[in-house]
Structure 1
Amino acid sequence: MRPVFAPFALALALAGAAPALAQEAAPAPPAATAAEAAPQGPPRLIVAISVDQFAADLFAQYREHFSQGFARLLTGAVFPSGYQSHAATETCPGHSTILTGAHPARTGIIANNWYVPGLGREEKRVYCAEDETDPASSSREPVVSPDHLKVPTLGDLMKRANPRAKNVAVSAKDRAAVMMSGHTADAAYWLGTKGFTTYADRQVSPAALAVNSQIGALVASGAPALPMPAWCAGVDRAVPIKDFTIGTFRFPLAAGDAKGFGRSPRVDAATGDLAVRLVDEQGLGKDDVADVLSVSFSATDYVGHAYGHDGVEMCIQLAQLDATIGTLFAALDERGIDYAVVLTADHGGIDAPERLRLHAYPGAQRLDPALGADALSAAVTQATGVAAKSGPLFYGAGGSGDVWIADGLKMKDREKALAKLIELLKANPQVAAVYTKDELAAMPVPEGAPQDWTMAEKVRASFDPERSGDVLMMTRRGVVPGDPSPSYTTTHGSPWDYDRRVPILFWRKGLAGFEQPDPVETVDIAPTLAALVGLSEPEGAWDGRCLDIDGGSGDTCAP
Structure 2
Amino acid sequence: MRFTAFAAIAILLTPLPAMAQQREAKKPDLIVAISVDQFSADLFQEYRQHFTGGFKRLTDGVVFPSGYQSHAATETCPGHSTILTGDHPSRTGIIANHWIDLHAAREDKNVYCAEDETVPGSNSDDYTVSDKHLKVPTLGERMKKANPATRVVSVAGKDRAAVMMGGHDVDELWWWDGKQFTSYANRKAPAAVTRANAAVAQQIATAQAPLPLSPFCERHSQAIPVGDGKSVGTGRFARAAGDAGAFRISPEFDGAVLALAAGLIQDMQLGKGKTTDIIDIGASATDYVGHTYGTEGSEMCLQLMSLDRDLGDFFDFLDSTGVDYVVVLTADHGGNDLPERENMHGIPDAKRVTGSISTKTIGKAVADELGLSENPLHGSGVGDIWVDPSLTPGMRDKVIEAAAKRYRADPQVAAAFTRDEIMATPISHGPPEQWSLIERARASYDPQRSGDLLVALKPRITPIIDPTHGSVATHGSIWGYDRRVPILFWRKGMAGYEQPLGVETVDIMPSLAALIDLPLAPGEVDGRCLDLDPGPASTCPAK
Partner of 1:309: 295
Q: Residue 177 of structure 1 contacts residue 294 of structure 1 at CA under 8 Å; is this kept in 2?
A: yes
Deviation of the 1:115 alpha carbon: 0.3
Pair 1:353 & 2:339 matched: yes
Distance 1:461 1:352, change over 3 A: same
Pair 1:211 & 2:196 matched: yes
Q: Residue 400 of structure 2 contacts residue 418 of structure 2 at CA under 8 Å; is this kept in 1?
A: no
SS in 2 for 1:342: strand
Deviation of the 1:6 alpha carbon: 10
Deviation of the 1:337 alpha carbon: 1.2
Q: Residue 8 of structure 1 contacts residue 327 of structure 1 at CA under 8 Å; is this kept in 2?
A: no
Q: Residue 9 of structure 2 contacts residue 195 of structure 2 at CA under 8 Å; is this kept in 1?
A: no
Select the residue among 18, 42, 46 that pairs with 1:61: 46
Residues 224-283 of structure 1 show CA distances to partners (whole Å, capped at 9, x for unaligned) of 122322221211111111021111000011112110001111110000010011112322
SS in 1 for 2:525: coil
Pair 1:139 & 2:136 matched: no
Partner of 1:428: 410
Deviation of the 1:139 alpha carbon: 1.3
Partner of 1:26: none
Partner of 1:378: 364
SS in 2 for 1:434: strand
* 1:178-217 mapped onto 2 (5 Å cutoff): 178-217=163-202
SS in 2 for 1:398: coil
Letter aligned with residue 516 of structure 2: V
Deviation of the 1:8 alpha carbon: 4.8
Moved more, 169-178 or 355-364: 355-364
Q: 1:461, 1:387 → 2: CA distance?
A: 35
Q: 1:469, 1:263 → 2: CA distance?
A: 32
Q: Residue 306 of structure 1 contacts residue 486 of structure 1 at CA under 8 Å; is this kept in 2?
A: no
Q: Residue 117 of structure 1 contacts residue 405 of structure 1 at CA under 8 Å; is this kept in 2?
A: no
Pair 1:149 & 2:134 matched: yes
Letter aligned with residue 512 of structure 1: A
Q: Residue 157 of structure 2 contacts residue 283 of structure 2 at CA under 8 Å; is this kept in 1?
A: yes
The size of the alignment, in residue pairs, is 526
Letter aligned with residue 198 of structure 1: S
Q: Residue 234 of structure 2 contacts residue 299 of structure 2 at CA under 8 Å; is this kept in 1?
A: yes
* 1:146-295 mapped onto 2 (5 Å cutoff): 146-242=131-227, 243-295=229-281
Give me the TM-score of the superposition, normalised by structure 2: 0.94
Partner of 2:16: none
Partner of 1:461: 443
Residues 199-248 of structure 1 show CA distances to partners (whole Å, capped at 9, x for unaligned) of 12312222112111112122222211223222212111111110211110
Deviation of the 1:410 alpha carbon: 2.6
Q: 1:135, 1:171 → 2: CA distance?
A: 27
Select the residue among 478, 485, 491 that pairs with 2:468: 485
Unmatched tracts of structure 2, length 5 or more: 11-23
Partner of 1:35: none
Q: Residue 12 of structure 1 contacts residue 266 of structure 1 at CA under 8 Å; is this kept in 2?
A: no
Distance 1:7 1:333, change over 3 A: farther
Partner of 2:507: 524
Q: 1:178, 1:433 → 2: CA distance?
A: 32
Residues 336-365 of structure 1 show CA distances to partners (whole Å, capped at 9, x for unaligned) of 111000000000010000000111212211
Q: Residue 149 of structure 2 contacts residue 274 of structure 2 at CA under 8 Å; is this kept in 1?
A: no
Q: Give the fraction of aligned pairs with identical amino acids, expressed as a percent.
A: 50
Q: 2:310, 2:221 → 1: CA distance?
A: 22
Deviation of the 1:486 alpha carbon: 5.5
Residues 357-385 of structure 1 show CA distances to partners (whole Å, capped at 9, x for unaligned) of 11121221111212122222222223322
Select the residue among 519, 529, 534 that pairs with 1:546: 529
Q: 2:239, 2:233 → 1: CA distance?
A: 17
Distance 1:60 1:428, change over 3 A: same
Deviation of the 1:151 alpha carbon: 0.7
* 1:16-55 mapped onto 2 (5 Å cutoff): 40-55=25-40
Residues 457-506 of structure 1 show CA distances to partners (whole Å, capped at 9, x for unaligned) of 01011111101101111110001111213541010011100000000000
Letter aligned with residue 546 of structure 1: C
* 1:116-135 mapped onto 2 (5 Å cutoff): 116-135=101-120
Pair 1:319 & 2:305 matched: yes
Pair 1:501 & 2:487 matched: no
Deviation of the 1:71 alpha carbon: 0.8
Q: Residue 11 of structure 1 contacts residue 269 of structure 1 at CA under 8 Å; is this kept in 2?
A: no
